Amino acid sequence: MSLQPTFDRTSAVYDSFMGRWTHVFLPALLRAAEIVPGQRVLDLATGTGESALRVAEALGSRGSLIGADFSLSMLRRAQGKAGGKSIRLVAADAQSLPCRDAAFDRVVCQLGLMFFSDPVAGVREARRVLRPSGRFGALVWSERMPWASLLAEELVAHLPARRAELFVSVSLGTPLRLERALRDGGLREVRVTTHTQMMEFASFDAYWSHVEDGSIRIGQMLRDVPAGTAAAIRDRLRNRMAAFAAGIGLVLPTDVLVGVGTK
Protein backbone atom coordinates (compact mmCIF):
# COMPACT_ATOMS: atom_id res chain seq x y z
CA MET A 1 0.00 0.00 0.00
CA SER A 2 1.48 3.35 -1.07
CA LEU A 3 0.02 6.43 0.60
CA GLN A 4 2.13 8.98 -1.27
CA PRO A 5 -0.55 9.84 -3.89
CA THR A 6 -3.15 10.54 -1.18
CA PHE A 7 -0.78 12.87 0.66
CA ASP A 8 0.10 14.64 -2.58
CA ARG A 9 -3.61 15.34 -3.07
CA THR A 10 -4.05 16.37 0.56
CA SER A 11 -1.22 18.93 0.46
CA ALA A 12 -3.38 21.73 -1.00
CA VAL A 13 -5.89 21.56 1.85
CA TYR A 14 -3.77 20.08 4.66
CA ASP A 15 -3.38 23.27 6.66
CA SER A 16 -7.10 24.08 6.64
CA PHE A 17 -7.74 21.18 8.99
CA MET A 18 -4.73 19.09 10.01
CA GLY A 19 -2.32 21.99 10.31
CA ARG A 20 -4.19 23.48 13.23
CA TRP A 21 -3.83 20.24 15.18
CA THR A 22 -0.07 20.49 14.83
CA HIS A 23 -0.29 23.68 16.89
CA VAL A 24 -2.47 21.97 19.50
CA PHE A 25 -0.60 18.70 19.97
CA LEU A 26 3.02 19.37 18.96
CA PRO A 27 4.07 21.04 22.25
CA ALA A 28 3.55 17.69 24.03
CA LEU A 29 5.95 16.03 21.59
CA LEU A 30 8.57 18.76 21.96
CA ARG A 31 8.46 18.44 25.75
CA ALA A 32 8.67 14.65 25.70
CA ALA A 33 11.56 14.66 23.22
CA GLU A 34 13.29 17.37 25.28
CA ILE A 35 13.84 19.78 22.39
CA VAL A 36 16.00 22.69 23.60
CA PRO A 37 17.93 25.51 21.92
CA GLY A 38 21.14 24.60 20.11
CA GLN A 39 20.32 21.01 19.13
CA ARG A 40 20.56 19.35 15.72
CA VAL A 41 17.09 17.98 14.94
CA LEU A 42 15.53 15.93 12.15
CA ASP A 43 11.77 16.33 11.64
CA LEU A 44 10.44 13.27 9.80
CA ALA A 45 7.23 13.47 7.75
CA THR A 46 7.39 17.24 8.05
CA GLY A 47 4.47 17.66 5.64
CA THR A 48 3.66 21.28 4.87
CA GLY A 49 6.20 22.41 7.44
CA GLU A 50 3.97 23.32 10.37
CA SER A 51 5.84 20.98 12.69
CA ALA A 52 9.21 22.19 11.41
CA LEU A 53 8.27 25.81 12.11
CA ARG A 54 7.36 24.96 15.70
CA VAL A 55 10.56 22.94 16.18
CA ALA A 56 12.62 25.82 14.75
CA GLU A 57 11.08 28.18 17.28
CA ALA A 58 12.05 25.83 20.11
CA LEU A 59 15.63 25.50 18.81
CA GLY A 60 16.32 29.21 18.53
CA SER A 61 19.07 30.74 16.42
CA ARG A 62 21.77 28.29 17.56
CA GLY A 63 20.01 25.10 16.53
CA SER A 64 19.81 23.39 13.15
CA LEU A 65 16.85 21.59 11.63
CA ILE A 66 16.17 19.34 8.65
CA GLY A 67 12.59 18.63 7.62
CA ALA A 68 12.14 15.48 5.52
CA ASP A 69 9.10 14.20 3.63
CA PHE A 70 8.43 11.87 0.71
CA SER A 71 5.74 14.12 -0.82
CA LEU A 72 7.13 16.80 -3.12
CA SER A 73 3.77 18.57 -3.04
CA MET A 74 3.97 18.83 0.74
CA LEU A 75 7.58 20.04 0.59
CA ARG A 76 6.74 22.76 -1.93
CA ARG A 77 4.22 24.17 0.50
CA ALA A 78 6.70 23.86 3.36
CA GLN A 79 9.29 25.76 1.33
CA GLY A 80 6.88 28.64 0.90
CA LYS A 81 6.54 28.93 4.68
CA ALA A 82 10.20 28.48 5.61
CA GLY A 83 11.18 31.98 4.45
CA GLY A 84 14.10 33.21 6.50
CA LYS A 85 13.89 30.32 8.98
CA SER A 86 16.97 28.11 9.24
CA ILE A 87 15.12 25.01 8.04
CA ARG A 88 16.58 22.72 5.40
CA LEU A 89 13.95 20.69 3.56
CA VAL A 90 14.78 17.41 1.83
CA ALA A 91 12.80 14.81 -0.11
CA ALA A 92 13.50 11.49 1.57
CA ASP A 93 12.07 8.13 2.52
CA ALA A 94 12.09 8.02 6.31
CA GLN A 95 12.99 4.33 6.16
CA SER A 96 16.15 5.03 4.10
CA LEU A 97 17.49 8.42 5.08
CA PRO A 98 20.28 10.19 3.17
CA CYS A 99 21.98 11.06 6.47
CA ARG A 100 25.17 9.87 8.12
CA ASP A 101 25.14 7.87 11.34
CA ALA A 102 24.85 9.77 14.64
CA ALA A 103 24.10 13.08 12.91
CA PHE A 104 21.31 14.38 15.18
CA ASP A 105 20.61 15.07 18.84
CA ARG A 106 16.89 14.51 18.34
CA VAL A 107 14.58 12.99 15.72
CA VAL A 108 10.86 13.70 15.87
CA CYS A 109 7.91 12.51 13.80
CA GLN A 110 4.54 14.20 14.19
CA LEU A 111 1.50 12.31 12.85
CA GLY A 112 3.61 10.33 10.41
CA LEU A 113 5.00 7.09 11.88
CA MET A 114 1.76 5.13 11.49
CA PHE A 115 1.81 5.83 7.74
CA PHE A 116 5.25 4.27 7.19
CA SER A 117 5.07 0.99 5.28
CA ASP A 118 7.22 -0.47 8.09
CA PRO A 119 7.11 1.69 11.24
CA VAL A 120 9.71 -0.44 13.03
CA ALA A 121 12.15 0.04 10.13
CA GLY A 122 11.49 3.78 10.38
CA VAL A 123 12.32 3.75 14.09
CA ARG A 124 15.52 1.78 13.41
CA GLU A 125 16.54 4.34 10.80
CA ALA A 126 15.83 7.19 13.20
CA ARG A 127 17.95 5.42 15.80
CA ARG A 128 20.79 5.06 13.29
CA VAL A 129 21.01 8.80 12.68
CA LEU A 130 20.79 9.66 16.38
CA ARG A 131 23.90 10.31 18.37
CA PRO A 132 24.48 8.09 21.44
CA SER A 133 21.88 8.95 24.11
CA GLY A 134 19.89 10.93 21.55
CA ARG A 135 16.10 10.78 21.72
CA PHE A 136 13.41 9.89 19.20
CA GLY A 137 9.85 11.09 19.69
CA ALA A 138 6.70 10.20 17.75
CA LEU A 139 3.18 11.57 17.97
CA VAL A 140 0.43 9.34 16.54
CA TRP A 141 -3.36 9.28 16.52
CA SER A 142 -4.94 7.04 19.13
CA GLU A 143 -7.97 4.86 18.45
CA ARG A 144 -10.22 7.55 19.97
CA MET A 145 -10.71 9.95 17.06
CA PRO A 146 -14.42 9.69 16.22
CA TRP A 147 -14.30 12.31 13.46
CA ALA A 148 -12.21 9.80 11.44
CA SER A 149 -13.13 6.40 12.87
CA LEU A 150 -16.88 6.79 12.32
CA LEU A 151 -16.24 7.74 8.71
CA ALA A 152 -13.88 4.78 8.28
CA GLU A 153 -16.52 2.43 9.69
CA GLU A 154 -19.03 3.66 7.14
CA LEU A 155 -16.60 3.50 4.21
CA VAL A 156 -15.25 0.04 4.95
CA ALA A 157 -18.70 -1.47 4.43
CA HIS A 158 -18.45 -0.37 0.79
CA LEU A 159 -14.67 -0.67 0.31
CA PRO A 160 -13.75 -3.79 2.32
CA ALA A 161 -10.58 -4.44 0.31
CA ARG A 162 -9.24 -1.08 1.51
CA ARG A 163 -9.68 -1.75 5.24
CA ALA A 164 -5.95 -1.41 5.99
CA GLU A 165 -5.77 1.98 4.29
CA LEU A 166 -8.95 3.20 6.00
CA PHE A 167 -7.65 2.34 9.47
CA VAL A 168 -3.93 2.99 8.97
CA SER A 169 -4.20 6.24 10.96
CA VAL A 170 -4.80 4.22 14.13
CA SER A 171 -2.47 1.31 13.33
CA LEU A 172 -0.25 2.43 16.25
CA GLY A 173 -3.20 3.78 18.18
CA THR A 174 -2.77 2.02 21.53
CA PRO A 175 0.04 2.60 24.03
CA LEU A 176 1.07 -1.05 23.76
CA ARG A 177 1.39 -0.98 19.96
CA LEU A 178 3.35 2.27 19.92
CA GLU A 179 5.63 1.13 22.73
CA ARG A 180 6.30 -2.16 20.94
CA ALA A 181 7.23 -0.37 17.71
CA LEU A 182 9.71 1.87 19.54
CA ARG A 183 11.27 -1.03 21.46
CA ASP A 184 11.44 -3.27 18.39
CA GLY A 185 13.20 -0.39 16.63
CA GLY A 186 16.00 -0.62 19.19
CA LEU A 187 15.15 2.23 21.55
CA ARG A 188 15.42 2.02 25.31
CA GLU A 189 13.77 3.94 28.16
CA VAL A 190 10.58 3.98 26.10
CA ARG A 191 7.64 5.94 27.49
CA VAL A 192 4.17 6.55 26.01
CA THR A 193 1.67 9.15 27.22
CA THR A 194 -1.86 10.06 26.13
CA HIS A 195 -3.00 13.61 25.41
CA THR A 196 -6.61 14.69 24.85
CA GLN A 197 -8.12 17.70 23.10
CA MET A 198 -11.64 18.54 22.00
CA MET A 199 -11.96 18.74 18.23
CA GLU A 200 -14.65 21.28 17.46
CA PHE A 201 -16.68 21.89 14.32
CA ALA A 202 -19.17 24.73 13.91
CA SER A 203 -21.67 22.24 12.48
CA PHE A 204 -21.90 18.84 10.86
CA ASP A 205 -21.78 20.56 7.47
CA ALA A 206 -18.51 22.23 8.46
CA TYR A 207 -17.12 18.80 9.34
CA TRP A 208 -18.38 17.31 6.10
CA SER A 209 -16.68 20.05 4.06
CA HIS A 210 -13.32 18.75 5.35
CA VAL A 211 -14.32 15.22 4.37
CA GLU A 212 -15.29 16.28 0.86
CA ASP A 213 -12.20 18.38 0.17
CA GLY A 214 -9.87 15.61 1.39
CA SER A 215 -8.28 17.51 4.27
CA ILE A 216 -9.59 14.58 6.32
CA ARG A 217 -7.55 12.23 4.16
CA ILE A 218 -9.81 9.19 4.04
CA GLY A 219 -12.56 11.42 2.71
CA GLN A 220 -10.79 11.10 -0.64
CA MET A 221 -12.18 7.56 -0.80
CA LEU A 222 -15.70 8.93 -1.19
CA ARG A 223 -14.73 9.46 -4.82
CA ASP A 224 -14.53 5.69 -5.17
CA VAL A 225 -18.15 5.01 -4.23
CA PRO A 226 -21.28 5.99 -6.19
CA ALA A 227 -22.73 9.44 -5.51
CA GLY A 228 -25.83 7.94 -3.93
CA THR A 229 -23.72 5.84 -1.59
CA ALA A 230 -21.68 8.89 -0.58
CA ALA A 231 -24.89 10.76 0.22
CA ALA A 232 -26.14 7.84 2.33
CA ILE A 233 -22.83 7.74 4.24
CA ARG A 234 -23.18 11.47 4.92
CA ASP A 235 -26.70 11.04 6.26
CA ARG A 236 -25.72 8.12 8.53
CA LEU A 237 -22.78 10.08 9.90
CA ARG A 238 -24.97 13.10 10.55
CA ASN A 239 -27.20 10.90 12.73
CA ARG A 240 -24.28 9.19 14.51
CA MET A 241 -22.52 12.46 15.24
CA ALA A 242 -25.59 13.93 16.86
CA ALA A 243 -24.24 12.30 20.03
CA PHE A 244 -21.41 14.87 19.98
CA ALA A 245 -23.63 17.95 19.52
CA ALA A 246 -22.84 20.80 21.90
CA GLY A 247 -24.53 24.14 21.49
CA ILE A 248 -24.66 24.87 17.77
CA GLY A 249 -21.70 22.67 16.84
CA LEU A 250 -19.92 19.36 17.37
CA VAL A 251 -17.32 18.65 20.04
CA LEU A 252 -15.44 15.38 19.58
CA PRO A 253 -12.87 14.19 22.17
CA THR A 254 -9.68 13.20 20.39
CA ASP A 255 -6.58 11.49 21.79
CA VAL A 256 -3.02 11.32 20.55
CA LEU A 257 -0.16 9.20 21.86
CA VAL A 258 3.33 10.57 22.37
CA GLY A 259 6.07 7.96 22.48
CA VAL A 260 9.73 8.66 23.20
CA GLY A 261 12.82 6.51 23.51
CA THR A 262 16.57 6.83 23.82
CA LYS A 263 19.31 5.39 21.64
pLDDT of residue 190: 98
Q: Under CATH, to which class is 4-262 assigned?
A: alpha beta
- pLDDT tens per residue across all 263 residues of the chain: 455 445 555 655 666 677 777 788 999 999 999 999 999 999 999 988 889 999 999 998 888 999 999 988 888 888 887 776 778 999 999 999 999 999 999 999 999 999 999 999 999 999 999 999 999 999 999 999 999 999 999 999 999 999 999 999 999 999 999 999 999 999 999 999 999 999 999 999 999 999 998 888 898 899 999 999 999 999 999 999 999 999 879 999 999 999 999 99
Name the residue ranges covered by the structural domains of the chain: 4-262
Q: Which residues contact 254 (CB under 8 A, 6 or more apart)?
A: 141, 144, 145, 146, 147, 196, 197, 198, 199
d(CA 181, CA 102): 21
pLDDT of residue 9: 57
Taking the C-alpha atoms of 78, 79, 82 and 88 in order, what is their torsion angle to the nearest 10 degrees? 100
CB 43 within 8 A of CB 72: no
**Whole-prediction pTM value?**
0.91
